[in-house]
Amino acid sequence: MSVAESVTVLLAAPRAFCAGVERAIEIVERAITSRGSPVYVRKQIVHNAHVVADLESRGAVFVEELDEVPAGATVVFSAHGVSPVVRAEAARLGLEVFDATCPLVAKVHTEARRYADRGDTVLLVGHAGHEETEGTLGEAPDRMLLVQSLEDARTVEVADPRRVSYLTQTTLAVDETTEVLDVLRERFPALRGPSSADICYASTNRQAALRAVAEESDLVLVVGSTNSANTQRLVELARRAGRPAHLIEDATGIRPEWLTGVATVGVTAGASAPPHLVSGVVEALRARGPVTVVEREVARETIEFTMPGAVRSL
């Protein structure tokens, strides 16, 4: 692979793992250490193929649904959260549950119950089929409607426009979500929402950092898995900024033709991607010629989440 004589790599910061992801992975690790293998995990603990493969090598068994888990076994709920129906099923099967739901996702679940209980129609801005969205909708399925796009925002109908509220998936693009909410507020002047934004700090920070490097880059590489919503939003954001952008699982995904004539490469990673994968991308670029690495930091993340009580006692 040939590149320009000298390449500048702009590293977006923050990037890679967030506190919620680190917490979820540690919950699985502690469960395996305490209970031995297998420990079952419903869905992917976080949306990253490398993380899943690593935990599988340690004794985690990933399943799609609880009917694949033997009665009485240990199961971990993923960082994306689950609906009350799933919790009830786990109790019926007598499963020992460790809940790795991100506290920021749990906040949205709490808001969904509160808004529904006060009689609102709850508009959830999110993507159909995503585990986080499915879990949140499950909190009040008879009172919640999914809004996926501007077109949905323009056409969604509610029973009583005076009693309507909104929530958002935590991993959405900030700019696109703002557009959707502007339409909803125009259509429903009584629309109420959370006192603090549902889009999590990690998604917001990584998007801001991506903008900072994209404007100076000839090419943007985003490290993460294709089923990671927050990672996909980073790719889309770079492309909306007019930059060629590619999602790669790791350094092996870099294609030679992408680097032709490129002098500056912006590099970031979604919140579910391990930091060492970013280092691998930098080293892969360095192996092909001189590289200068510059970090662009837009925020410093110091948030830490406490472990669930059941995990702290392990």
Q: Which residues are identified as catalytic?
A: 132
Do residues 98 and 310 lie in contact, with contact meaning Cβ atoms separated by under 8 Å? yes
- Could you tell me what percentage of the chain is helix, strand and coil, using 3-state DSSP and rounding each to the nearest 5? 40, 20, 40
Distance separating alpha carbons of residues 265 and 259, to the nearest angstrom: 9
Distance separating alpha carbons of residues 254 and 7, to the nearest angstrom: 15
Contacts of 313 (CB under 8 A, 6+ apart): none
Query: CA 231: distance to chain centroid?
Result: 7
Strand runs (DSSP E) across the chain, as ranges? 7-13, 39-42, 60-63, 74-77, 96-99, 121-125, 144-147, 164-168, 219-223, 245-248, 264-269, 291-297
Residues making up the binding site for dimethylallyl diphosphate: 47, 80, 130, 228, 230, 272
Residues making up the binding site for [4Fe-4S] cluster: 18, 102, 200
C-alpha torsion angle, residues 106, 107, 112, 114 (rounded to 10): 120
Residues making up the binding site: 18, 47, 80, 102, 130, 170, 200, 228, 230, 272
